[in-house]
Structure 1
Amino acid sequence: MARGGHGLARVAVVVRAGAAPLWWLGVLAAGVGVCVPGLTGRRIGVTAGAALFVVALAVVVYARRKRYAALARSAARAGKHDVLQDRAVTARNWRHGHRWWLLLAFLAAVGSAFAAPAAGGMLLAGCGAGLWLKAAWVGRLERDADVLLWVRVDWLGRNAGGAVGKAVKGYRSTGIAAGDAAPGGAPRKMAALV
């Protein structure tokens, strides 16, 4: 980047990037799992899966909230030479970097159906739903402070901690209108043409 600027990715988009793949792979794995009688039987498998869904959702939503909040409070203003990464690019980079983990998680969820039908798939879906809720919570932090939160792209690739990993030293902030994603990481709604 010219003159000391950095590539910046939206924190909420990084959090939200795994939500859709985990949700849909989980739903697919649970659907396949229901077709397998399994060792425990369908009824017990689905009941255990529902419990795992709730536990996974809660763990993902509440994990590392203090670190997110601390980094958000101490966010420095983005510089004029920083480059804001598009939402689609951030999501694509996350999914590309995690594609083998997603495949292994899906295969493990399908394989677990032989023990407890649908349970593994529901666990994956719970993780996906938890990421959506966590991204929405990050969006509330952004709205409350009237800023958008960004993280340096080069810090994201150094570890598996994502937007709050050990390599992340701090966030940057911009005005609420910057970038192509709304608070929480969802696509920004286009204003109606008059």
Structure 2
Amino acid sequence: MAREGRGGQGLARVAVVVRAGAAPLWWPGLVAAGLGALPEGLTGRRIGALAGAALFLLGTAGVLLARRGRYAALARGAARAGKYDVLQDRAVTVRGWRRGHRWWLLLGWALALGSAFAVPVAGGLLLAGLGAGLWLKAAWIGRLERSAEALLWVRVDWLGRSGGSPAGKAVKSLRATGIAAGDAAPGGARRRTPALV
């Protein structure tokens, strides 16, 4: 793994960025699905629930499989983080991503809830499926990190220019650190034990 010569960049964990949107999609999606079961809708609750189950599976699979090849390629070419690079805390990364996407998340929840008057339950289950897909994708990235024994990071400035996607066009490469760096475990979850220093 090559060492990146340029330093002094703010770095955010790739898996944390991916995982940041999971809960704000999963839980509101379940709430929207529950509330969406109240109206009869145009299709009826039974058809709506069946359509919702199909959309849940499609949404989960779509998010999980999207850009996997690019993530894998970026991971293979990750350069070692520089001496002066600054590793962003997990909480800061999550808060920043959610703040930047809060209006999209609110719009998605409103659309999922409103769609219940046409197709009960379906919109909420689609939203929850997108959240489940993000959790599974973060777990898949965690497996990449464990197999390489290196955590993957993305430059914060590139992340901002790519709309918050660690695999967006503005992201030219990733950086890597040892498996114990930072305050998040492989896959982006909170560490159960303190990181080594």
- TM-score normalised by length of structure 1: 0.95
Asked whether 1:56 is paired with 2:55, we answer no
Out of 32, 37, 43, the residue aligned to residue 34 of structure 1 is 37
Partner of 2:162: 159
Asked whether 1:21 is paired with 2:24, we answer yes
Asked whether 1:86 is paired with 2:84, we answer no
Amino-acid identity (%)? 74
Distance in structure 1 (CA, Å) of the matches to 2:109 and 2:55: 15
- 1:29-61 superposed Cα distances (whole Å, 9 cap, x missing partner): 101100111110100001100000000000000
Is the contact made by 2:17 and 2:164 (CA closer than 8 Å) also made in structure 1?
no
Give 4+ residue runs of structure 1 displaced > 6 Å after superposition: none
| Number of residue-to-residue matches in the alignment | 189
1:160, CA displacement in angstroms? Answer: 2.5
Asked whether 1:178 is paired with 2:181, we answer yes
Distance in structure 2 (CA, Å) of the matches to 1:187 and 1:33: 33
Counterpart mapping for 1:124-135 below 5 A: 124-135=127-138
Distance in structure 1 (CA, Å) of the matches to 2:28 and 2:20: 14
Asked whether 1:71 is paired with 2:51, we answer no
- 1:122-148 superposed Cα distances (whole Å, 9 cap, x missing partner): 000000000000000000000000000
Q: Output the amino acid matched with 1:122.
A: L
Out of 144, 147, 151, the residue aligned to residue 148 of structure 1 is 151
Partner of 1:95: 98
Distance in structure 2 (CA, Å) of the matches to 1:173 and 1:79: 9
SS of alignment partner, residue 157 of structure 1: helix
Distance in structure 1 (CA, Å) of the matches to 2:70 and 2:63: 14
**Runs of at least 5 residues in structure 2 that lack an aligned partner in the other structure:** 1-5
SS of alignment partner, residue 9 of structure 1: strand
Distance in structure 2 (CA, Å) of the matches to 1:73 and 1:5: 22
- 1:165-185 superposed Cα distances (whole Å, 9 cap, x missing partner): 010000000000000000000
SS of alignment partner, residue 179 of structure 2: coil
1:162, CA displacement in angstroms? Answer: 0.5
- TM-score normalised by length of structure 2: 0.94
Counterpart mapping for 1:116-131 below 5 A: 116-131=119-134
Q: Output the amino acid matched with 1:152.
A: R
Is the contact made by 2:32 and 2:113 (CA closer than 8 Å) also made in structure 1?
yes
